[in-house]
Chains A and B, each alone.
Chain A
């Protein structure tokens, strides 16, 4: 079973974001694997442990993404591939998906797993676009997954609840929280990961797809409506003030 796990490197949530003209200022940013992709890596490892085969961790971006690939190695990935794109717009999902689909096609992958969304763009697009590019099934927001032979059974989150779905390999999956608990890489794994090779592919190796998105500009978030703490003698007083504020000032209720 050949399993490709998608590993996107994103700024840590706690990192301060400084907005530049068309991208963010990367100085001082702490980079992490997007949390949902950690569920994807874990699921890939579990599937391999059960069914055999190999787990290939793929990350797209400049050389700094190798750090995330080494972490995937430390968790237990068998191979790591960097799709080397230096001036990478992290919101260009169509370009990203086309590169990954072309890579997955060449590898003849059975399963492609990524997070339900990356926390820098919240687009929820790439994995399903890869599925469409390959002409294979997809299951989004998976909270459980069972694969035996070529049959796939999963529970996915849908609006208002869950659904049980079935399909057969090959399949692309997006991991939702609840799918598993990602393991921590141990020290030995981290040491060994340092020496492992990272394969690189260039866009030229993968069909040189065109970008379809243009960044017009980045800006800081819009200012919030200025806030204030209410003053009152008791709960009833607070309640009266709040109702008044929400109905007469904010006009939202």
Chain B
């Protein structure tokens, strides 16, 4: 029997969508392997999300009471639960937090790990993880040979499927240990209203937006759609917006359902970060811009006319 443990994630006291995505993915794996799904939630007051995870397939929910995120203590907590529950498959969000603690967990429990998986299937009693490699120019399929297999899973890559599990909760208190790194202060003012790497819609601007004073044109559309604001490196390097918005090889890798590229030429380093977006809309004056090679819907036109018209139209239908 192969049980699955998923490690959920919260933001500002709310359950992130990725937590449901990996619970659903875990349910599929457990059904194929004949096992159970346990969801682990770390934080304070996390019991209230048990129902949400039960509804998408968690048989049980383990809650661990803890303060603010620290990669070292989180790694101890997650490893403690793995040692206690002995799952054979562990799914972790490939988010900035997940990337921070999962490497330590893998070493602590002697597990192999495949990071940034976008596909999970089962073959011969083992999970096969598919992940984009070489900036999305190839995909690799990997199995893990150790007793415990850990996969970090890219946000938006897994469907949320309603499927009731028992959702029984249980509190655990593994040892958090001491952290060698102390957090002195946090500045969370520069970021997006919607987290870029996990957003399901992104409105992104490049050099074509001409200057920082024009972000409101794109932000207006983003607000109507509940989308995150992205940028090309050219826009970041020009000092028009902070690097935390940059999409691409030296920025964030994103996989939204819909990526709206405005005034972005579509250089290979930019495609490396957004090429796996499900639907790509390109709005560009230059009909020969390389972005049109990957765009599902291309508009050859001036973004300063098309984007406001699009915002108005969406306001009308989403009103």
State the A residues within 8 Å of B (CB): 11, 13-14, 16-17, 19, 24, 35-36, 91-94, 97, 119-129, 131-133, 136-141, 153, 157-168, 177-178, 211-222, 224-230, 232, 234-236, 238-240, 242-243, 245-247, 250, 252-253
Interface residues in B261-311 (C-beta closer than 8 Å to A): 268-269, 272, 275-276, 278-281, 287, 292-302, 305-306, 308-310
Interface pair A239/B112, CB less than 8 Å apart: no
Q: Counting CB contacts under 8 A, is B158 at the interface?
A: no
A149-B143 Cα distance, complex, nearest whole Å: 44
A132-B102 Cα distance, complex, nearest whole Å: 11
* Nearest A residue to B98, CB-CB: A124
Interface pair A225/B296, CB less than 8 Å apart: yes
* Nearest A residue to B273, CB-CB: A122
Task: Please list the 3 inter-chain residue pairs (A to B) with the smallest Cβ-Cβ separation, ordered nearest first.
Answer: A212-B112, A160-B191, A128-B103
Q: Which of B140, B250, B292, B294 makes the CB contact (< 8 A) with A218?
A: B140
* Nearest A residue to B271, CB-CB: A13
Q: Which of A19, A119, A161 makes the CB contact (< 8 A) with B191?
A: A161
Interface pair B298/A230, CB less than 8 Å apart: yes
Interface pair A217/B298, CB less than 8 Å apart: no
Q: Which of B136, B190, B279, B287 makes the CB contact (< 8 A) with A250?
A: B279
Interface pair A120/B279, CB less than 8 Å apart: no
A238-B307 Cα distance, complex, nearest whole Å: 10
- Closest CB in chain B relative to A177 CB, distance in Å: 5
Cβ–Cβ < 8 Å partners of B276 in chain A? 221
Cβ–Cβ < 8 Å partners of A227 in chain B? 280, 292-298
Interface pair A216/B181, CB less than 8 Å apart: no
A166-B179 Cα distance, complex, nearest whole Å: 11
Cβ–Cβ < 8 Å partners of A124 in chain B? 99, 103, 115-116
A13-B233 Cα distance, complex, nearest whole Å: 15
A225-B314 Cα distance, complex, nearest whole Å: 23
A188-B301 Cα distance, complex, nearest whole Å: 50
Interface pair A138/B300, CB less than 8 Å apart: no
Cβ–Cβ < 8 Å partners of B243 in chain A? 177-178
Cβ–Cβ < 8 Å partners of A220 in chain B? 138-139
- Closest CB in chain A relative to B215 CB, distance in Å: 18
Contacts A133-B107, A239-B306 supplied; 16 other A-B pairs, CB < 8 Å: A13-B268, A120-B135, A122-B115, A125-B99, A125-B103, A128-B103, A129-B103, A160-B190, A162-B190, A163-B187, A165-B182, A213-B114, A214-B143, A224-B296, A243-B313, A243-B317
Interface size class of B (residues with CB under 8 A): 35 or more
Interface pair A164/B314, CB less than 8 Å apart: no
Q: Counting CB contacts under 8 A, is B65 at the interface?
A: no
* Nearest A residue to B139, CB-CB: A219
A91-B134 Cα distance, complex, nearest whole Å: 11
- Closest CB in chain B relative to A245 CB, distance in Å: 5
Known A-B contacts A159-B11, A160-B192, A220-B139; A211 and B145 likewise in contact (beta carbons under 8 Å):
yes
Q: Counting CB contacts under 8 A, is B210 at the interface?
A: no
Task: Report which residue of A16, A141, A220, A253 has the largest number of chain B beta carbons within 10 angstroms of its beta carbon.
Answer: A253
Cβ–Cβ < 8 Å partners of B300 in chain A? 229
Cβ–Cβ < 8 Å partners of A16 in chain B? 137
Cβ–Cβ < 8 Å partners of A165 in chain B? 181-184
Interface residues as binary, B115-151 with A (CB distance below 8 Å gives 1, 0 otherwise): 1100000010000100111111111111111100000
Cβ–Cβ < 8 Å partners of A162 in chain B? 186-187, 190
Known A-B contacts A163-B185, A215-B140; A235 and B279 likewise in contact (beta carbons under 8 Å):
no
Q: Which of A159, A212, A252 makes the CB contact (< 8 A) with B201?
A: A252
Interface pair B292/A91, CB less than 8 Å apart: no
Task: Report which residue of A129, A132, A222 has the largest number of chain B beta carbons within 10 angstroms of its beta carbon.
Answer: A132
